[in-house]
């Protein structure tokens, strides 16, 4: 019970202090929206919104979670308020799950902004929603873990910022968000298969447009593997870098 | 009964040996002071005890719990006031306190009640709705201290609680410490204000360059530092003419003349004042002030560091 109170209050504080701040809300909404408009304006008539939707959702999650988590944790580490969390009589895993949950929830909410937008223009009746939710969750989970990994490796806020851009911008182009993976040259294709987002976007493609490269169970399995690996790396670095 | 036992504790940061094999114990219900200059290793020691840093060697047992292995159990019964005021800048005083209480699993009604009480107690009630970042330094310090005791811990760690705040606030904080002691709490406090340590601590450890150079009750340390008695006299006439005579007459005293009207007597035995006054009177000089000079912890500290410097040379 005591752990639950601590968990819930850490989550609530993060949502209140960081995720609900106007700049972050607008970042989560405006960026995907303007990207969509850009795509539509560039090739009017040729692009179906439904074709863009999986990529947009993946992008919204990636941008909402990774850098948010990385930056807020580094910020709290810098101002030493993070010590309060480390001093609380809750396990480090509880603390980490509370921090991850905030980012995951924020990412998942962000993912449905483009959906709400697209629902006005496209027919989404063929979408298999349970799978969409699973895919959105797994993308949010892997992105949040990536953010956490950045947070435990970076010392300064600007480092965290730079690291997250270093990962997420290439991922925009390598993970099949807007360029089909089949069209990537050999080496880049190989890289894209090493990134969890590729499998998340593929799952979304399957659930929304009914066409995917891999089958769903394989995609989910790979994303769970990535989550386990990232979690292991985070755990190792936390033990090494948080308790000096 | 002892509540904290630290044995041969070490902390190495790369090349720097910040804490060099220290051992001490703290008894239940006492105020234990850790006194030392900047960089002596005070914060490093506290951080290992509270679980913010991992010892490079040695043991820490707090209330019967191995604090190195089972730090989360220890954290339930301790409160910490760090050297920096690390509350959340964007949250107000009340929210900050409630959040800290929630970290210890306190229920909503209980934590709001405690937070209100503490804001009142520290004269911060009016600032309760202002964000922490807009607080003055003294207000920040007080809120950080309030956060450290909100869950009513059995043992409180205070890292330089009064650094950088005004005299009145510092006095309030010292009163709070003594009040907590009266409630039976154990308090571990670091400071480099010798006077403060002398006022609030039962026992003190002097730490210099990662080693404890002296440990004991305040009165033991004082007796140790200045063996003997010091008496300062102010007299009416000039002592210049009778200096030699005075020295021959009172050979078992060491006499110092800072000016022609003052005399400082140092003696191994308590000084019998009457013969001195009588003798001076017979020379036509009357004593109009006699004052015992008490040693301070500062003398102890100066002596210890001087001894240590000698050993090192
Ligand atoms: N994280 C760290 N990395 C490297 N060296 C450190 C670290 N923390 C402390 N030190 C070094 O350890 C030594 C002891 O530092 P510590 O902060 O414990 O001293 P202190 O007694 O608390 O000093 P002050 O009175 O200034 O607070 C110093 O030489 C310091 O530079
Ligand atoms: Mg210090």
> Which chain B residues are Cβ-neighbours of A89 within 8 angstroms?
72-73, 75-76, 103-105
> Which chain B residues are Cβ-neighbours of A86 within 8 angstroms?
51-52
C-alpha distance from A218 to closest chain B C-alpha (Å): 40
Give the pLDDT confidence score for residue B310 in this predicted structure.
60
Task: Give buried/exposed letters for A105-128 (b at 16+ CB in 10 A, else e).
Answer: bbbbbbbbbbbebbeeebeeeebe
Order across the sheet with B2-13: list the strands.
B16-27, B2-13, B57-62, B65-66
The full 3-state SS of chain B, as one line of letters, equals CEEEEEEEEEEEECCEEEEEEEEEEEECCCEEEEECCCCCCHHHHHHHHHCCCCCCEEEEEECCEECCCCHHHHHHHEEEECCCCCCCCCCEHHHHHHHHHHHCCCCHHHHHHHHHHHHHHCCCHHHCCCEHHHCCHHHHHHHHHHHHHCCCCCEEEEECCCCCCCHHHHHHHHHHHHHHHHCCCEEEEEECCHHHHHHHCCEEEEEECCEEEEEEEHHHHHHHHCCCEEEEEEECCCCHHHHHHHHHHCCCCEEECCCCCEEEEEECCCCCHHHHHHHHHHCCCCEEEEEECCCCHHHHHHHHHHHHHHHHC
Q: What is the pLDDT along chain A (244 residues), one digit of tens a residue?
A: 889 999 999 999 999 988 888 777 777 677 777 777 777 777 666 567 788 888 888 888 888 888 888 888 888 988 899 999 999 999 998 999 999 999 999 999 888 888 887 888 777 788 888 999 999 999 999 999 999 998 888 878 788 888 878 877 788 777 777 777 777 788 888 888 888 888 988 999 888 888 888 888 999 999 999 999 999 999 888 888 887 7
Contact of B197 with B35, CB cutoff 8 Å? yes
Alpha-carbon dihedral B76, B77, B81, B87, rounded to 10 degrees: 30
Q: Is B256 on the interface with A (CB under 8 A)?
A: no
Domain boundaries, chain B: 2-223, 227-293
Query: What gap in Å lies between CA A121 and CA A103, rounded to an integer?
Result: 29
Atom of ligand 1 nearest to the CA of B46: 18
Long-range contacts: B218-226, Cβ < 8 Å, 24+? B218/B297, B221/B297, B221/B300, B222/B294, B222/B295, B222/B296, B222/B297, B222/B299, B222/B300, B224/B300, B225/B295, B225/B297, B225/B299, B225/B300, B225/B303, B226/B295, B226/B299
Distance of CA B140 to the CA centre of its chain: 21
A221: its two tokens: 């399995």
For CA atoms A123, A107, A139, A193, the dihedral sign is positive
Give the pLDDT confidence score for residue B227 in this predicted structure.
67
The DSSP output letter for A182 is: G
Query: What gap in Å lies between CA B105 and CA A7, rounded to an integer?
Result: 9
For residue B190, the CA-to-ligand 2 centroid distance in Å is 8
C-alpha distance from B201 to closest chain A C-alpha (Å): 25
Task: Let me know if B286 is exposed, middle or buried by CB neighbors in 10 A (0-12, 13-18, 19+).
Answer: exposed
Q: Can you tell me whether residue A91 is helix, strand or coil? A: coil
C-alpha distance from A120 to closest chain B C-alpha (Å): 38
Q: Is B73 on the interface with A (CB under 8 A)?
A: yes
Q: Is B146 on the interface with A (CB under 8 A)?
A: no
Contact of A213 with A230, CB cutoff 8 Å? no
The enclosing H or E element of A28 equals: helix A22-42
What is the fold, at CATH topology level, of the domain defined by B227-293? Answer: Alpha-Beta Plaits (3.30.70)
Q: Is B16 on the interface with A (CB under 8 A)?
A: no
Give the pLDDT confidence score for residue B212 in this predicted structure.
93
- At CB < 8 Å, which residues of chain A contact B? 1-3, 5-6, 8-10, 13, 17, 79-81, 83-91, 243-244
Residue A23 has phi, psi (to 5 degrees) of -60, -35
For residue B47, the CA-to-ligand 1 centroid distance in Å is 10
Atom of ligand 1 nearest to the CA of B14: 4
Query: How many domains does chain A contain in total?
Result: 1
Chain B residue whose CA is closest to A1: B105
Place of tokens 């410097």: B309
Contact of A108 with A140, CB cutoff 8 Å? yes
For residue B42, the CA-to-ligand 2 centroid distance in Å is 5
Indicate the class that CATH gives domain B2-223: alpha beta
Distance of CA B243 to the CA centre of its chain: 41
Give the pLDDT confidence score for residue A46 in this predicted structure.
57
Atom of ligand 1 nearest to the CA of B45: 18
Place of tokens 């705040």: B165
Q: How many CB atoms lie within 10 A of CB A86?
A: 18
> Which chain B residues are Cβ-neighbours of A7 within 8 angstroms?
none
Query: What gap in Å lies between CA B198 and CA B217, rounded to an integer?
Result: 10
Q: Is B35 on the interface with A (CB under 8 A)?
A: no
Long-range contacts: B248-257, Cβ < 8 Å, 24+? B249/B279, B250/B276, B250/B279
Residues of chain B with pLDDT under 70: 225-227, 307-313
Closest by CA position to A228, among listed A154, A163, A168, A145: A145
Chain B residue whose CA is closest to A92: B72
Domain hosting A216: range is 2-243
Query: What gap in Å lies between CA A106 and CA A101, rounded to an integer?
Result: 8
Contact of A214 with A202, CB cutoff 8 Å? yes
The residue contributing the CA closest to ligand 1 atom 18 is: B41
């Amino acid at each position: 019970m005591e752990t639950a109170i601590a968990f819930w209050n850490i989550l609530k504080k993060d949502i209140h202090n960081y995720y609900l701040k106007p700049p972050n809300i607008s970042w989560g909404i405006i960026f995907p929206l303007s990207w969509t408009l850009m795509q539509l304006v560039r090739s009017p008539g040729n692009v179906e919104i439904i074709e863009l939707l999986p990529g947009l959702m993946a992008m919204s999650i990636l941008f909402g979670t990774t850098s948010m988590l990385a930056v807020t944790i580094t910020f709290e580490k810098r101002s030493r308020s993070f010590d309060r969390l480390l001093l609380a009589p809750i396990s480090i895993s509880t603390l980490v799950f509370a921090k991850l949950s905030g980012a995951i929830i924020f990412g998942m909410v962000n993912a449905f902004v483009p959906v709400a937008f697209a629902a006005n223009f496209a027919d989404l009746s063929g979408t298999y929603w349970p799978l969409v939710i699973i895919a959105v969750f797994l993308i949010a989970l892997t992105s949040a873990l990536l953010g956490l990994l950045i947070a435990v490796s970076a010392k300064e806020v600007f480092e965290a910022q730079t690291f997250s851009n270093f990962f997420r911008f290439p991922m925009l182009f390598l993970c099949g968000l807007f360029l089909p993976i089949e069209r990537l040259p050999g080496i880049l294709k190989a890289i894209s298969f090493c990134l969890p987002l590729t499998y998340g976007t593929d799952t979304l493609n399957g659930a929304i447009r009914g066409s995917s490269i891999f089958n769903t169970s394989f995609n989910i399995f790979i994303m769970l593997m990535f989550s386990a690996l990232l979690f292991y790396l985070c755990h190792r670095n936390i033990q090494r870098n948080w308790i000096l | 009964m002892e509540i904290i036992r630290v044995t041969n504790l070490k902390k190495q940061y790369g090349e720097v040996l910040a804490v060099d094999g220290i051992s001490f114990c703290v008894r239940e219900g006492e105020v234990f002071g850790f006194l030392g200059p900047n960089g002596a290793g005070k914060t490093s020691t506290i951080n290992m005890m509270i679980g913010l840093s991992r010892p490079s060697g040695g043991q820490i047992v707090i209330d019967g719990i191995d604090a190195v292995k089972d730090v989360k159990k220890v954290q339930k019964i301790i409160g910490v006031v760090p050297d920096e005021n690390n509350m959340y800048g964007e949250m107000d005083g009340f929210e900050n306190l409630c959040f800290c209480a929630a970290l210890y699993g306190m229920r909503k009604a209980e934590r709001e009640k405690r937070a209100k009480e503490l804001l009142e107690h520290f004269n911060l009630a009016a600032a309760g709705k202002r964000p922490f970042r807009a607080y003055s330094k003294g207000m920040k310090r007080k809120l950080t201290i309030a956060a450290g005791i909100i869950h009513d811990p059995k043992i409180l760690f205070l890292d330089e609680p009064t650094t950088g705040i005004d005299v009145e606030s510092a006095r309030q904080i010292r009163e709070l410490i003594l009040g907590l002691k009266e409630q039976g709490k154990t308090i571990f406090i670091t400071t480099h204000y010798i006077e403060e340590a002398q006022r609030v601590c039962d026992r003190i450890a002097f730490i210099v360059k990662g080693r404890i150079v002296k440990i004991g009750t305040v009165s033991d340390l004082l007796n140790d530092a200045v063996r003997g008695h010091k008496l300062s006299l102010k007299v009416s006439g000039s002592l210049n003419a009778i200096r030699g005579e005075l020295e021959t007459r009172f050979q078992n005293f060491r006499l110092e003349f800072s000016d022609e009207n003052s005399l400082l007597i140092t003696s191994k035995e308590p000084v019998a004042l009457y013969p001195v006054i009588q003798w001076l009177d017979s020379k036509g000089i009357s004593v109009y002030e006699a004052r015992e000079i008490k040693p301070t912890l500062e003398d102890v500290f100066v002596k210890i560091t001087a001894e240590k410097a000698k050993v090192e040379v």
